[in-house]
Structure 1
Amino acid sequence: MLVNTKEFEVRNLHYKVRSAQSEDAQALSELRLQIDGETENLDRVKGKEYIDGEGFKDIIKSDSESLNSIFLVAEVNGTLVGFSRCEGNELKRSSHKLEFGVGVLKDYWGYGIGKNFLKESVKWADANNIKKITLNVLETNEKAIILYKNYGFQIEGVLQKELLADGNYYNTLLMGRLN
């Protein structure tokens, strides 16, 4: 589904949050690869589950036409610096819920981009009768956990000792928000 563009100004950084468009596909491929290499907070290492430009075109088309998926990007001066996605599915038993995921370039952390992705996604989900949003977050990502709790997410479970690229084991929290 498509949403209206929103503009934000945080600490002198002006950015837009808008629906992903097919023209963004190659930039999204490169952006995702860069984000995966900048943080241990994601479940992928750089290059794992790589999606090329054509793959992103397919995802953008599918999400744009879907009633229970949304794909957002953050743009600064014409350059993509982050993305989020709420992915639903068409199975009747789970069509009421979706999974939220987010990634922002490290240079743009602290400007509320992730928070605004979450806020817009929750607002969209509530307006479209989505009953549940789920997400996974490392238990060491305390800022994200606080943010998610502030938006009504609760811990529903724990995946214990998930191996990360640094060779250490961490717990992954399964969180959900009911509408």
Structure 2
Amino acid sequence: MSKQPKTPYIIRQAAKEDAAQLSEVRLQIDGETEFMDRERGEAFLSKADFEQIIEKDNNQDTNLFLVAEAEGKVIGFARCAGNSLKRTSHKVDFGICVLKAHWGQGIGKCLLQEAIEWSDENNIKKIALQVIETNHQAIKLYKRHGFQVEGRLRFDKWLSDNNYYDTLLMGRITKVSNNNT
């Protein structure tokens, strides 16, 4: 099998104008892989839903919404979602997805690196994520970028092969001084 040529792409902050494409891309990705939590059409987010998310993220210091764009089309995205609660304002939850046609081109890696750089620049101490145990490429990528497995949710996902799979809880902690470490 020959490797697909690398598509030139850019990583940038999401804009309201991306909302319609984001809705379509998310729907497509949910149908392309069982690595996501949803099946195609479940928990559907419309253009209006994405417009609200993008507006909120662009106006909140603890959130980041990135898109990967190639030839004017969104081909993937990543999001860091934090909050302003004092006890948890130091961390964000991270999620990422890339259209299957563009896997293996380093897009996920670039989205992750941008999110890490942003978190380091914005005094975020921890990035947390969840990944299904069968997504070996993603797990390797996360580990190469300083993430560690912090836990396991057993029998967390039921997939089309009628088997249950575990979800790994992973986190990347920035070097901090802490009286408890």
Across the aligned residues of Structure 1 and Structure 2, the Cα RMSD in angstroms comes to 1.2
Aligned to 1:178, which of 170, 173, 177? 173
> TM-score, normalised on structure 2?
0.91
**Structure 2 runs not aligned, ≥5 long:** 175-181
Q: Please tell me the residue identity of whatever aligns with 1:162.
A: D
Answer with 63-72 or 160-169: which moved more.
160-169
Number of residues paired by the alignment?
Answer: 170
**Secondary structure of the residue that 1:107 maps to in structure 2?**
helix
Could you tell me how far apart the structure 2 residues matched to 1:164 and 1:31 are?
23
- Asked if 1:100 corresponds to 2:99, the answer is no
| 1:79-119 deviations in Å (ceiling 9; x for gaps) | 11000001111211111100110010000001100000000
Contact 1:22 1:61 survives alignment (8 Å): yes
- Asked if 1:150 corresponds to 2:144, the answer is yes
Q: How does 1:1-179 map to 2 (within 5 A)?
A: 12-166=6-160, 167-179=162-174
| 1:46-77 deviations in Å (ceiling 9; x for gaps) | 11111100010000000001101100001110
Could you tell me how far apart the structure 2 residues matched to 1:37 and 1:135 are?
21
> TM-score, normalised on structure 1?
0.92
**Structure 1 runs not aligned, ≥5 long:** 1-9
Rg: which structure is higher?
Answer: 2
Report the CA distance between 1:12 and its aligned residue. Answer: 4.2
Between Structure 1 and Structure 2, which shows a larger proportion of strand residues?
A: 1
Could you tell me how far apart the structure 2 residues matched to 1:178 and 1:107 are?
32
Could you tell me how far apart the structure 2 residues matched to 1:150 and 1:19 are?
24
Distance 1:113 1:154, change over 3 A: same
Q: Please tell me the residue identity of whatever aligns with 1:136.
A: Q
